[in-house]
Amino acid sequence: MELLPNLIGGQWRTPNVRETSPVMNPSRGESLTAVPMSSAAEVEEAVAEALKAFPDWRETPPNDRAQVMFRLKAMLEDEFEELAMGICQEHGKTLVEARGDLRRGIEMVEYACGAPTLLMGESLENIARGIDCHTDRIPLGVVAGICPFNFPALVPMWMWPLALVCGNCFILKPSEKVPLTMQRIAGMMKKAGLPDGVFSIVHGGREVVDALLEHPGVAAVSFVGSTPVAEAVYQKGCLHGKRVQAAGGAKNFLVILPDADVAATASALRDSAFGCAGERCMAGSVAVAVGEAGERVLPALVDILGSMRIGPTDTADQPDMGALITGAHRDRVKELISLGEAKGGKVLADGRSVRVDDAPGGYYVGPTIIDGVDYGNDLSTTEVFGPVLSVMRARTLDDAIAAANRQSFGNGACLFTTSGKAAREFRHRVSAGMVGINVGVPAPLAYFPFTGWNRSFFGDLHMQGREGVLFYTKQKTTTVRWFSFGEGDIWVK
Ligand code: NAD
């Protein structure tokens, strides 16, 4: 089988490797292609080419860098549907979800088009008599991005559009499970006018990640993935003197008060817990029903699930929910459900035995609801990353907030209510970086930061928005005093 090449110095190069990793179509369990598990040698080449390209790219005016993004945006729109279908094939999410993945990525390109404004510094005249002070934003140099499987377009695009318009060269290590979308988009970058070496791709796994983290030529690393890897990447990157932002896993709580709108809340819970088959870092994972809220909302939710169609997404006849990423992940999700049941959880909807007759090799788990989960149950603390909604019961809003704050992550937390006071209290006290009030997936758009907390984020500056610009630049402050007009004195007399 042909291997996907790396992109190094503007050339597609297939490395000579011992190990490869298959890229599967999860809808059917069939192989699409394979990626090389590159080594430190390929990282060395990519960094060398990027360092060569950096001086000229750094001198390229921000407006000209932004023009590359404008042209890329037009190309992405032209090929939008093909790219979205490609995401369905390599990831297994539905076409609607794939379009969303790509649309949110394109919004990052649009945001990056504002480079001249985003990169403006600050200045103050007369910090002392006759002395002025300026700060400028300076690119870091060569920066790297390491990505997870769950958003083949969006997550890499949290990183490179801003990194590039800030004047950096960027090396991407896509997820080895979903490398195709970025491979296609990288092909467009040259046509959009991006000079060779400014953007590179090195496929692989841990060896590539370690080499990027250890290389003295890499100034900063952006990482998104599971918490244990995020923490290790953060620590190793810092140890090697790099600036690091590392987003990790999540366990998002959805608190429902008895006064919540039943139909709207049931629909929001379905989208939050089962959208993208639960493979979202902002997926609702535990519903905390306060008082009678469970009796009001859960029957409506179970009812909607009954009409959800599960199946392959690489076809014109689109289902409501697709497959999980691998067979191993499917098995782990099923195992977590069984363990949760063994610890006293009551399964209200069971996706473990779902059958998809037209794609028997696909990695499917149907939507699952498991009620009566308590603190002793792993389902209250472990990230499942599948279509499983656990339900806890609470007597009061206080108890519900305490339950949400008890676990170690801190990405999202949502409240469903018609009470403004309760919403205010929740927003103020819940320990999560992204809060939804009657919104089940409170993922911020490109111009806001993606503000995970606790063990969902390691670092200081988040992806997206102004924080993204700060992450990819360093500041230079210049203080200026002129003593005389020099030779020009004559002109002012
Ligand atoms: P993962 O941690 O397995 O892999 C992420 C990346 O790290 C991949 O590129 C992989 O090749 C690399 N990697 C894996 N193991 C490594 C190791 N030991 N050393 C160095 N590199 C390693 O994550 P995944 O399964 O691809 O993605 C799912 C996870 O990502 C979930 O936990 C999800 O919550 C998280 N995620 C978080 C956010 C966020 O914003 N917080 C967004 C998307 C996904």
Structure-block tokens of residue 437:
């009030």
d(CA 226, ligand 1 centre) in Å: 4
Q: Is 281 among the catalytic positions? A: yes
Candidates 265, 285, 276; CA nearest to 87 is 276
pLDDT average, residue stretch 438-444: 98
Look up the pTM and report it: 0.97
Instruction: Give the ligand 1 atom nearest the CA of 281.
Output: 34
**What's the CA gap between 436 and 428, in Å, rounded?**
12
Residues 375 and 240 in one domain: no
Q: Could you tell me if the CB of 464 is within 6 A of ligand 1?
A: no
d(CA 175, ligand 1 centre) in Å: 8
Per residue in 87-110, pLDDT (tens digit) is: 999 999 999 999 999 999 999 999
Residues 204 and 270 in one domain: no
Q: Are 13 and 310 in contact (CB under 8 A)?
A: no
pLDDT at 492 over 70: no
Residues 241 and 289 in one domain: no
The count of structural domains within the chain is: 2
Positive or negative: CA dihedral 330, 331, 334, 336: negative
Residues 179 and 270 in one domain: no
Domain carrying residue 286: 252-437
Positive or negative: CA dihedral 386, 389, 390, 395: positive
Q: Could you tell me if the CB of 209 is within 6 A of ligand 1?
A: yes
- Alpha-carbon distances, residue 27 vs 32, 318, 322, 359, 365 (angstroms): 11, 12, 7, 7, 11
Per residue in 267-296, pLDDT (tens digit) is: 999 999 999 999 999 999 999 999 999 999
> In the prediction, which pLDDT does 127 show?
98
Q: Could you tell me what percent of the chain has a pLDDT over 70?
A: 98
Structure-block tokens of residue 69:
């993004």
pLDDT at 489 over 80: no
172 domain-assigned: yes
Q: Could you tell me if the CB of 337 is within 6 A of ligand 1?
A: no
Residues in CB range of 90: below 8 A, 6 or more apart: 23, 24, 25, 32, 152, 177, 178, 179, 180, 181
Per residue in 13-68, pLDDT (tens digit) is: 999 999 999 999 999 999 999 999 999 999 999 999 999 999 999 999 999 999 99
Residues 166 and 192 in one domain: yes
pLDDT average, residue stretch 130-149: 98
Mean pLDDT of the chain: 97
CATH code at 313? 3.40.309.10
pLDDT at 491 over 80: no
**What's the CA gap between 186 and 156, in Å, rounded?**
11
Of the candidates 88, 113, 147, 281, the residue annotated as catalytic is: 281
375 domain-assigned: yes
Residues 133 and 52 in one domain: yes
Residues 70 and 158 in one domain: yes
Residues 222 and 288 in one domain: no
Residues 280 and 186 in one domain: no
Q: Could you tell me if the CB of 47 is within 6 A of ligand 1?
A: no
pLDDT at 1 over 80: no
Q: Are 303 and 271 in contact (CB under 8 A)?
A: no
Per residue in 344-389, pLDDT (tens digit) is: 999 999 999 999 999 999 999 999 999 999 999 999 999 999 999 9
> In the prediction, which pLDDT does 72 show?
98
Q: Could you tell me if the CB of 6 is within 6 A of ligand 1?
A: no
**Probe target for ligand 1 pocket from 21, 101, 149, 385, with the most ligand atoms within 8 Å of CB:** 149
